[in-house]
Amino acid sequence: MKRVCFILQVRPERLEEYKERHKRVWPEMLDALSRTGWRNYSLFLRDDGLLIGYLETPDFSAALEGMAALDVNRRWQAEMQPFFQAVAGRPDENMSPLEEVFHLE
């Protein structure tokens, strides 16, 4: 299982609404994430809008491709795009994994 961490920047003026949206993620979106290999997926948000995402998956590229092929993901990403700063395209197209430099097993 590969551990993946990425960062994005949420617009500070949209933080509360972003948090509210994630309290009610669509059931079909949750199912799609599970079916495409996203495990132990978490999002962490700092007061200035820094968003840190973490997940575990056998193959991150395959997990992204699997979601990209689904209509539910296209709809979700279209709704989430206005929440992010400096995002060209869909937010999920801007997830660049950070290099893991240490892991305590």
Which active-site residues does the annotation give?
22
Domains within the chain, CATH numbers bracketed: 2-94 (3.30.70.100)
87 versus 17: which is more confidently predicted? 17
Could you count the other beta carbons within 10 Å of the beta carbon of residue 3? 13
Query: Which pLDDT tens digit goes with each residue over 20-41?
Result: 999 999 999 999 999 999 999 9
| Numbers of helices and strands, H then E, in the chain | 4, 3
Alpha-carbon distance values, 4 to 37, 81, 100 (Å): 12, 21, 8
Query: Which pLDDT tens digit goes with each residue over 36-92?
Result: 999 999 999 999 999 999 999 999 999 999 999 999 999 999 999 999 987 677 788
Tokens 């059931």 correspond to 27
Q: What is the pLDDT of residue 105?
A: 85
